[in-house]
Structure 1
Amino acid sequence: MVKPASPWPAVLLLYAAGLMAAAQLGKLSALAPVFTPALGLTLAGAAWAISLLEVGGATLGAVAGLLAQRWGLRRTLQGGLVALALAGLGSATAQGQASLLGWRLLEAAGYLSVTVTAPVLIARLSLAAGAHTQMLAMTLWSTFVPVGLALGASGAAAAALPLGWRGALLAGGVLAAVLAVAMRWRWPAAAEAAADAADAEREAAHRAESHHAEDSAAFHAATRRAARPGMAAWCLALGFGLFALFEVGLLGLLPTLLVEQAGLSAAAAGQWTGVASLAAVGGSGIAALLQRHAVPARWPALLALALPAVLLWGIFRPAPDAAWAVGLAIACNLLGGVFASYAFAMLPRVAPRPAQLVRVNGLITQCGASGSLLGPPLMAAGVAWGGWTGAAALGVLITLPALPLAWRAFRGR
């Protein structure tokens, strides 16, 4: 057996790939006021360009996981980074809506390639150093969206000042290309060898324990069945999708609430929304601390899922106090970071075999992306139906089915 090496160089490299992918969520939002008039886009056209990144995950997440397993996880990841680089370079030359959307589609493919492979590789590589290391590594991964989104938005806005919006997009493409080269040449081969050896040992043990080991056809059929997501995995994925619907819906409507109801300027509302989003990182730190002290996952995860639905009534109401609304939004996202961390830490537990891990991660990606797409329009429909308190009521309706799903996913784990 290959002597285990420290997985952290590989984990941090993979986390950087996740940050690069998530940065694509924030960069066009930050640059929209500049490129929209420059390209002659309507507001709807700019919105399509921004949201298109999640379409691939919402429609093809589960399928992408299976294809990545067939093509090779690291190869798919590297291909995704190359796609992000090419899309960044290409979108800097866009002359209209059609070309911008075309490059955004390539960017969506790169984003999906990274998000369906990086957490699986992190889970595999970190397990060689022990279950506790794996849990911490997956907790780190759970922060990639808020951190990457914030870095993408702030970085694109800062780069656009001296370089213009095209220069900002070009710089993003160059950074993705540098990361793709680093992934190719600085990959810790020793950590991957240890993970491969551990996977081989687990598969050999499974085959030895199978009652049908002597019957190759029966064994392979049983292996295919075992690779399918189980009930706990489905509950985790669906619960995470409902969580994403609530969380992204809250963040999507928060700037409008703060401007129209709390009296803040658009700039201040955007800044405080960014602070609220980054609060999820603090929640991940709390989850890591609880895991370090071996606190059972179920109750912290359930409380982190349920409490934001209560706090939402203090945010989504007519004429809220600005400081009160912002503080509660930060608390909601702090709790959201706790739940997201536990959800990703549970991924290797509900999918202990390598083939399961890829499929379940693809399923979680698809459910999370679907929730992210549906969250803002559904919450906006709640406002149209019953005012701001209607959105709070909708948040409760979203949370209620998520709780039993999370209860089942975290049962006895």
Structure 2
Amino acid sequence: MTTSDKTRWGLILVIWAAGLGAAAQYGKISVVFDRMAELYPLAGGSIGFTVSLVGLLGILFGVVAGMFVAAFGYRRTLVWALWTGAVMSALQALHLPFPVFLGTRVIEGLSHLGLVVAGPTLIAQVSTEKTRGLAMTLWSTFFAVAFTLLAWLGLPLVAKFGVLSLFGAHAAIMAGLAVLLGQALRNVPVPERQAVPSLAKLPALHWRIYRSPWLVAPAAGWLFYTACFVAILTVIPPFIDENIRGFVLGVMPLASIAVSMTLGVYLLRFVRAVRLVQTGFALCAMIGVWLMLVPGSPLACIAVAGAMGLVQGGSFAMVPQLNETAADRARSSGAMAQAGNLGNTIGTPLMVTVLSTAGYAGMLSTVVVLFSAGFLVHAVLAIRRRF
């Protein structure tokens, strides 16, 4: 793949905005989750799937998504993923029957997967080697920034016009980005399309990745991180004082970004990424106990988000540290995408179910167990790498 001889920052910002739209496919439900029962009062515990079903296709195809996108074309994938997301959000704004709404969330998962695979590839394409690190760091913030914007701008919109207005606004933004990028990407050189991968080879590819303590390590911890991140942002808000809820929800993702890009980057100069991730998980577990003892504590909420930033930054740094070749790094990153979608999919329904059956303390106990499991899985894989 040839790359640009000049960084196209304007285009990079628009592609990053598409990433914000992809993150909002999770976040637009998370930030109003406590009000989804108003739309679907008979849904019961199944309401948790309104958040998590976006990750279904990512679970099935995360490892090989890059190969499918290469076959369909990066520019085409990005634009059509935006259009698909726009149509699904527009349908959701019509207050669909609950089963149909869940169906749109599954289709929205296809849009999400296309955006998170094609977006960073195209950003790398339109940046120079000197600026690529900064450009990719910008891309890595899309999830947390989207949650912040939804908390600070989306919640006031919902307060004034209702939940469905947020879905309509998301549809309009995605459609606008599709039109803009459809034009802006026309002159961006991309590699020739590749052959569609054989489905018969998928089981062997997955087996090779998941049996390797080097390839699977970033994904193994990422599973527990993602099972908690969206779920915490979704389930905790009703326990935060309503007067400062929007502020806290906006600060939590920013705290994660700030810690990851400052303290996390600094510590990586002295410790291996695995150790940094384990430190993050240990801190998260301890802060989870604090949050259990002081329900909805704003300081504890922000602190746990900050500690999760160590896990976030360390997990991505772990990929090149444990895997030397580009091919292995791609496989390891694909496994991270798959594990991340699995964590996002099971996290919220799990927390909602535990909350409804065991209460707040039971839910926070589950969070602490998941964070502890993230610490332990890296300890086990580290032992395997020694023998």
Tell me the TM-score range normalised by the shorter chain: 0.7 to 0.9
Report the Cα offset of residue 134 of structure 1: 3.6
Which residue matches 2:98?
Answer: 97
Deviation at 1:345, TM superposition (A): 4.7
Between the aligned partners of 1:129 and 1:307, the Cα distance in structure 2 is: 35
Match of 2:292 in 1: 316
Say whether the 8 Å CA contact 2:31–2:234 is kept in structure 1. no
Residues 310 and 49 of structure 1: CA distance in aligned 2, closer, same or farther (over 3 Å): closer
Higher mean alpha-carbon deviation, 20-29 vs 93-102, is at 93-102
Aligned to 1:232: 214
| Conserved? CA contact 2:30–2:51, under 8 Å | yes
Change (3 A) 1:175 1:103: same
SS in 2 for 1:233: coil
Q: 2:157 touches 2:166 (CA, 8 Å); kept in 1?
A: yes
Question: Does residue 331 in structure 1 map to residue 331 in structure 2?
Answer: no
Greater mean deviation of Cα atoms: 66-75 or 342-351:
342-351
Q: Aligned with 2:236: secondary structure?
A: helix
Structure 2 unaligned blocks of 5 or more = 193-203
The TM-score, its normalising length taken from structure 2, stands at 0.76
Q: Note if contact 1:242-1:402 (Cα within 8 Å) is conserved in structure 2.
A: no
Q: Which of 365, 368, 379 is the equivalent residue of 1:404? A: 379
2:110: which partner in 1? 109
| CA displacement, residues 251-299 of structure 1 (integer Å, 9 cap, x when unaligned) | 455346xx3xxxx5456456534432332121233158539x9666535
Structure 2 CA distance for partners of 1:101 and 1:375, relative to 1, 3 Å? closer
Aligned amino acid, residue 137 of structure 2:
T
- Partner of 1:277 in structure 2? 253
Matched AA of 1:15:
W
Amino acid at match of 1:136: L
Cα contact 2:53–2:106 (8 A) shared by 1: yes
**Which of 369, 373, 377 is the matching residue for 1:394?**
369
SS at match of 1:232: coil
TM-aligned CA distance change 1:164 to 1:400, over 3 Å:
closer
CA distance in 1 between counterparts of 2:368 and 2:221 reads 18
How far apart in 1 are the matches of 2:165 and 2:371? 43
**Cα shift at 1:188:** 8.3
Asked if the contact 1:237/1:363 (under 8 Å) is kept, the reply is: yes
CA distance in structure 1 between the partners assigned to 2:57 and 2:333 by the alignment: 15
Deviation of 1:84 after TM superposition, in Å, equals 0.7
CA distance in structure 2 between the aligned counterparts of 1:377 and 1:68, rounded to whole angstroms: 29
Which residue is equivalent to 1:209?
none
Contact 1:14 1:118 in 2 (8 A): yes
2:152 and 2:250 in contact (8 A); partners too: no
- The residue that corresponds to 1:220 in the other structure is none
Q: CA deviation at 1:79?
A: 1.8
Pick the structure with greater CA Rg: 1
CA distance in 1, matches of 2:77, 2:376: 34
Structure-2 change in CA distance of 1:328 and 1:233 (3 Å): same
Within 1, Cα distance between the matches of 2:10 and 2:329?
21
Residue 357 of structure 1 and its aligned partner are, at CA, apart by 5.7
Question: What's the offset of the Cα at 1:392?
Answer: 6.1
Cα separation, 1, equivalents of 2:367 and 2:47: 28
Structure-2 separation of matches of 1:346 and 1:7: 29
Residue from 171, 174, 182 that aligns with 1:173: 171
Ranges in structure 1 where 5+ consecutive residues have no aligned partner: 198-223
> CA-to-partner distance for each residue in 1:330-383, whole Å, 9 max, x for gaps?
222112223313433555666777765654433211101212233345566499
1:148 & 1:352 partners in 2: Cα distance? 32
Q: TM-score scaled to structure 1, two decimals?
A: 0.72
The answer on whether the counterparts of 1:92 and 1:166 sit within 8 Å (CA) in structure 2 is yes
Deviation of 1:33 (Å): 6.2
What is the CA distance between 1:169 and its match in structure 2?
Answer: 2.2
**CA distance in structure 2 between the aligned counterparts of 1:328 and 1:265, rounded to whole angstroms:** 13
CA distance in 2 between partners of 1:273 and 1:16 (Å) = 20
C-alpha separation in 1, matches of 2:140 and 2:156: 26
Does residue 384 (structure 1) correspond to residue 366 (structure 2)? The answer is no
Q: Cα gap change, 1:252/1:175 in structure 2, threshold over 3 Å: closer, same or farther? A: closer
- Alignment CA distance shift 1:310-1:403 (3 Å): farther
Q: How does 1:231-310 map to 2 (within 5 A)?
A: 231-255=213-237, 259=239, 265=241, 268=244, 271-286=247-262, 290=266, 298=273, 299-310=275-286
Report the CA distance between 1:407 and its aligned residue: 5.8
Deviation at 1:129, TM superposition (A): 1.6
Question: Is 1:239–1:405's contact at 8 Å kept on the other side of the alignment?
Answer: no
Evaluate the alpha carbon distance shift between residue 294 and residue 6 of structure 1 in structure 2; reply closer, same or farther with a 3 A threshold.
farther
User: For the Cα contact (< 8 Å) 2:48–2:348, is it kept in 1?
Assistant: no
Summarize the alignment of residues 4-403 of structure 1 with structure 2, pairs less than 5 Å apart. 4-6=5-7, 8-31=9-32, 36-37=37-38, 41-44=42-45, 46-123=47-124, 126=127, 128-130=128-130, 133-160=131-158, 163-187=161-185, 189=187, 192=189, 231-255=213-237, 259=239, 265=241, 268=244, 271-286=247-262, 290=266, 298=273, 299-317=275-293, 320=294, 325-345=297-317, 347=319, 359-376=331-348, 378=350, 381=354, 384=358, 387=362, 390-391=365-366, 393-395=368-370, 397-403=372-378
How far did residue 239 of structure 1 move? 1.9
The 8 Å contact of residues 264 and 276 in structure 2, kept in 1 or not, is answered as no
C-alpha contact 2:86 2:174 (8 A) present in aligned 1: yes
Aligned residues: 367
Q: Distance in 1 between matches of 2:4 and 2:137?
A: 25
The offset of 1:9, in angstroms, is 3.7
- Preserved CA contact (<8 Å) 2:151 2:247: no
* Other structure's SS at 1:151 match: helix
Q: Which has the higher helix share?
A: 1
